A and B are shown apart, each in its own frame.
Chain A
Amino acid sequence: MSTVLLLGVVLVLAAMAFVLCRGRALASAGGDMRRLHSLPEAYGWHGALMVALPALAVLVLWLILQPVVIARSVGAILPVTTTTQTADEAQSAQNAEELALMDVRRLAAGIDSAVSSGQMAEVAPDGAGADMAALQEALAASGVALGGAITPETLAAAQKYRSLSAIGLTARTVFTLIAALAGLAAAIMLTQKDFRARNRVEAVIKMLLIAASSVAILTTVGIIYSMLSETLNFFRLYPVSDFFFGLTWSPNFRGNSEFGLIPLVWGTLYITLISMLVAVPLGLFSAIYLAEYASPRTRNVIKPLIEVIAGIPTVVFGLFALVTVGPFLRDWVAQPLGLGDSGSSVMTAGIVIGILNIPFVSSLSDDIINAVPQSLRDGSYGLGATKSETIRQVVLPAALPGIVGAILMAGSRAIGETMIVSMGAGAAAKLDLNPFEAMTTMTVKIVGQLTGDTDFASPETLVAFALGMTLFVITLGLNVLALYVVRKYREQYE
């Protein structure tokens, strides 16, 4: 039975369980719903869950474990070629084994499809006596392309693979159905009028909700874990203090690289600062205009228009920085002021990222300002305050925690922005105060170190993970700080 069909059968059984349990519960109460502990539907759902959950658990476990088990037993009959000595050799031996297994799997699938479409006779179970060349030809005729020539060992392994898979498939079907039927029987036996079906169903729903929220957390943990191990690898090859306190960044794929973090952190923070200087005032002012001054009609036109900006891909913004803002700043500001003649600059990237972030700040702040209760405004107007006094002294303070949140979101976007920086500010890691110089950020360098030759053993590549980890810690720190500020503020005013 295929997986989809099996799933279908389980679902049908679950539906049956729903109907059966609901009916049984009603019957046990003599048809009087008020004598049931829970609503009849709860008994139905309990039955359906009792069928579906164990069966699905068995199925999922089987799907995960079967390939592992089969690979292990098939791998055992493949010829082992290497005696492992160093870590590198162990690595390549493992790779070779994986390649061989892949061949086996492909061959097995090829024989399967050729046999089932009738283009080939069944091969002997252990592959003995088969004509390798003829087999290869027959497979090619039925559209199965193989990497290399078929050896008797591979064929034997493929045959074993096929037979194990077939057994596994049958066993999987049988066990899944047993689990489903056992669940059905248990549910029917449990169902009577005093059984607390609702509580059980709600417990399951609660588990589902917990599972949903842990996905995000587990992902974060996984990200940290994978970055941490590579970061540690990097620090085994490169001194920690040179990384964190080094003032030069000059990676060199032939060795002798210098990975000083400071120029990158400086570039990141400088660009973020400029972008926030653009995004926060403009975004906040347009939010105030939209929320407090604009008529509903104007608001309905302007708000979507501002939000359009958020939908533009950042690479388009990068082009804008590259061909418009950069040259403009160079020709009209930097050169007349004698501040250099670089087309790409911190200023360019900062301004363009700032524009990109305006809708984030304005849209979120607008919603937050709108959520400030009208009664507060009335209170202020009732004391003879003007509109601007009311906004500055009552509305904005009341909206501040939310606005801080919006600003921080914009800030983390600015810190993480890559495309606009690499097109607008260049890729030169420099430590300079002049905002019209080309500089670059950590994210750009992460991409730079990982493109091209990716040998995951050299510090030139591994440094990307150290950078990523640092970035992660910086943004985490900012977020914690923001949470602290907002909470402090809330304590004071709520």
Chain B
Amino acid sequence: MNKMQNPETLVIANANKMTARKVQVHYGTNHAIKDVDVDILDKTVTAFIGPSGCGKSTFLRCLNRMNDTIPVCRVSGELLLEGENIYDPRVDPVQLRAKVGMVFQKPNPFPKSIYDNVAYGPRIHGLTRNKAELDAIVESCLKKAALWNEVKDRLDSPGTGLSGGQQQRLCIARAIATSPEVLLMDEPCSALDPIATAQVEELIDELRSQFSVVIVTHSMQQAARVSQKTAFFHLGHLVEFGDTGQIFTNPGDPRTESYISGRIG
């Protein structure tokens, strides 16, 4: 679990999945994200760290246009998914979000059964042809999210009846059931106990073989454990972006250093 990844060798081979150039986000008059450039590599875990309110969630939500649902929010700049601008008018945010899935900071299971929660994505996207296939997807996703053993006997009971940590793992299972190409996770472990956290971290590591993962976290240890790339945000600016090992051992910016060592935040 606590093994450090060896970032360099893994990263170099991977192509750019998403590219952000000069991204600005305004909430009304509040300039929340200023001039952010980030590259999200394929089959890589990227961690966003930074003090509370610095804009990590905001930037994360730009990557699958979730900010579209907030009326006051305006995004400008260039955001590419495999070379295609995702804010282009021709791009359908619905299709984009099927490719770029999301797990939220607060667990938000639907008021449906556990089974239906996980089956939601595959059903609306028509990913399965029959019940057996759907059953298989539900089971494998719940297993990946380390929830299967706890819920396998009560798949028909409501997802909202689970504990907070179980709900979050259910949301993770729900997100990976759509088999996205990029998975955005906003503090997925903030409600989990250490065992479940370890399981989710293991899952993230496993997911890396299939798609890229972006994770927001407040835990330096977690960022160091699971990610190969780390971006440090401060007051809406991207202060530093680079290989995780380098950021944590040899940060280039004094603000990064003091945040990592616990002096600001």
Contact = CB atoms under 8 A, between A and B. Distances in A.
A376 B103 CA distance: 12
Interface in A383-436: 383-386, 389, 393-394, 397-398
Contacts of A377: 69
B44 interface: no
A393 B112 CA distance: 9
A378 interface: yes
Contact of B158 (A379, A389, A494): A494
Contacts of A380: 110, 120
A160 B95 CA distance: 93
Contacts of B102: 378, 382-383
A398 B112 CA distance: 9
B108 A373 contact: yes
A378 B66 contact: yes
B264 to A, nearest CB: 30
A297 to B, nearest CB: 11
Contacts, number: 85
A393 B64 CA distance: 21
Contact of B124 (A378, A379, A389, A397): A389
B116 to A, nearest CB: 9
A374 interface: yes
B106 A375 contact: yes
A382 B66 contact: yes
A384 B101 contact: yes
A492 B97 contact: no
B175 interface: yes
B124 A492 contact: no
A493 B116 CA distance: 12
Given A378-B104, A494-B158, A383 B112 contact: no
Contacts of A373: 108
A253 interface: no
Nearest to B97: A384
A374 B125 CA distance: 22
Given A384-B95, A493-B160, A376 B108 contact: yes
B121 interface: yes
Interface in B50-94: 64, 66, 69, 71, 93-94
Interface of A: 296, 373-386, 389, 393-394, 397-398, 492-494
24 contacts: A296-B71, A375-B106, A377-B69, A379-B109, A379-B171, A379-B174, A381-B69, A382-B97, A382-B101, A382-B102, A382-B175, A383-B98, A383-B120, A383-B124, A383-B175, A384-B94, A384-B178, A385-B97, A393-B120, A397-B110, A493-B111, A493-B112, A493-B158, A494-B161
Given A384-B95, A385-B94, A494-B158, 15 more contacts: A375-B106, A376-B108, A377-B69, A378-B104, A379-B104, A381-B93, A382-B66, A382-B104, A383-B174, A384-B101, A393-B112, A397-B111, A398-B110, A398-B111, A494-B111
Q: Lowest 6 A-B CB distances belong to which pairs?
A: A384-B98, A382-B102, A493-B111, A375-B108, A384-B97, A379-B108
Interface of B: 64, 66, 69, 71, 93-99, 101-104, 106, 108-112, 120-121, 124-125, 158, 160-161, 171, 174-175, 178
